[in-house]
Structure 1
Amino acid sequence: MRNKIIIPEGLYGITGENFANGKTNLECVEAMIKGGIKIIQYREKKKSLGQKLEEARVLREVCRKNGVLFIINDNIDIALLVDADGVHVGQDDLPPSEVRKLIGDDKIIGLSTHSPEQGKKAFENPDVDYLGVGPIFPTTTKDTAPVGLEYLDFAVKNLDIPFVAIGGIKEHNIDKIIGHGAKRICLVSDIVGAPNIEEKVKFLRSKLEK
């Protein structure tokens, strides 16, 4: 079932402490929100479950206080414990239909997709609320091979579901992604690694909102 919660257009924020040049995830999230980002995904691969739970609780409250959607990557248990707005899973994680049984009907499920075939299957799955489309370009944040602009073009033309273009997107190539029709775009290292995240986000938003 498609969720009634609206997945906001614009920039989609993802944490990436190892790309943040010494800034904490909390510092990055607070700055992203000040810059105007309306949805944050907590993605943390290297910390213990206990550390992730503690951090997610703090970030969840920051997002709630500011009216920002809060999504947990992979860890459905943590998403439930902190009452996140939803979870984002990959192709090798639990299938969305099983995730739905765990989190209920009022939470968001996002699914990473890397090809037209995966995108079409996800679009036809009523438990998927939005897609990740990518990685568009080579990226250091994921091991998946880049899919190029062809899949993005397919998604724009054929998948009537919210999707986020992701993977290797930077300030220098975001205009190309916008030009191909993406309405929701994620930059990880380019945002969290910026000297001034708030100003970086505002500048990127100005490109999207022209």
Structure 2
Amino acid sequence: MSMRKKLDISAYLVVGPENTKGRPVVSIIKDAVEAGFTCVQIRSKVASARELIQLTQQASEAIAQIGKSDEVTLLVNDRLDVVLAARKQGIKVDGIHVGQSDIPVDVCREYLGQDSVIGLSARTHEMFEYIKTADVSQIDYFGVGPVHETMTKPDCGLDLDGKVVTRSFDEISELVRFSKIPVVVGGGVKLADIPPLAQTGAAGFFVVSAVSEADNPKQAAAELVNAWKQYAGIIQKD
């Protein structure tokens, strides 16, 4: 069964070597997956293609060792070449996450096949229009944010006039309502944001530094997962 059919983006970690306070990326991934994270995206603007392939391999192996290869989705940010090269080496990588200014989604789909997961970040200033009008047949989920200004991606949410536009929970609720596909929300998300975020109807949250730069990444990851389950569960029961 393809990961597309059982995609779970409820607890989504984005991580690269620049976000770990010098600790190995794979140890952060292990901690997060053991704590219940369901999706991992390898993202780095500084690592070379070879380093990214190696990181993807380490992540894939770590997820397999924990016995969660069939449950946890492994994605690479923006680098179709890395995904294809990793797969050629026999590495299990489930798909790609791109922005609207990266490689077009239909190209990713053509090269990666129908079973691969493709996520898309929609640009902030076009977000509502895009979500209403986009052909989502090739996309599995939208990444939306930021909830707060975030140092891990200073241009996240940059509007046309150069100001950072953060998203209120009301706006996120509206985006979720319009979207034909699941929405995952992030950008500076902290534990305190999980209850209101769960109430927007989003499919999940994504974090970088809340886990990767935490003193105790496993504990931080577990707290986030437990909070999401608690508050998202309440919504679904209503």
TM-score normalized with structure 1 length: 0.90
Aligned residues: 207
Q: 2:156 aligns with which of 122, 131, 144?
A: 144
Matches within 5 A, 1:1-210: 4-65=4-65, 66-67=68-69, 68-83=72-87, 84-113=93-122, 114=124, 115-122=127-134, 124-142=135-153, 143-145=155-157, 146-149=165-168, 150-210=170-230
Identity of aligned residues (%): 28
Which moves more between the two structures, 90-99 or 141-150? Answer: 141-150
Which digits, 9 at most, give the CA deviation of each residue in 1:1-36, with x for residues without a partner?
Answer: xx8422214211111432322211111101111111
Which moves more between the two structures, 39-48 or 76-85? Answer: 76-85
Contact 1:163/1:184 (<8 A) preserved = yes
- Taking the aligned partners of 2:80 and 2:116, their CA distance within structure 1 comes to 11
| Secondary structure of 2:207's aligned partner | coil
Find runs of 4+ consecutive structure 1 residues off by over 4 angstroms: none
Contact 1:17/1:192 (<8 A) preserved = no
Q: Any stretches of 5+ residues in structure 2 without a counterpart?
A: 88-92, 158-164, 231-238
| Secondary structure of 2:74's aligned partner | strand
- Taking the aligned partners of 2:197 and 2:185, their CA distance within structure 1 comes to 8
Contact 1:166/1:185 (<8 A) preserved = yes
Deviation at 1:97, TM superposition (A): 1.0
Please give the root-mean-square deviation of Cα atoms over the aligned residues, in Å.
1.8
Deviation at 1:186, TM superposition (A): 0.8
Q: Which amino acid aligns with 2:102?
A: D
| Secondary structure of 1:31's aligned partner | helix
- Taking the aligned partners of 1:137 and 1:61, their CA distance within structure 2 comes to 33
When residues 151 and 64 of structure 1 are mapped into structure 2, their CA distance, relative to the original with a 3 A threshold, is farther
Contact 1:130/1:161 (<8 A) preserved = yes
- Taking the aligned partners of 2:107 and 2:19, their CA distance within structure 1 comes to 32
Contact 2:156/2:187 (<8 A) preserved = no
Contact 1:63/1:69 (<8 A) preserved = no
- Taking the aligned partners of 1:5 and 1:44, their CA distance within structure 2 comes to 27
| Secondary structure of 1:173's aligned partner | helix
- Taking the aligned partners of 1:174 and 1:195, their CA distance within structure 2 comes to 19
Contact 1:139/1:167 (<8 A) preserved = yes
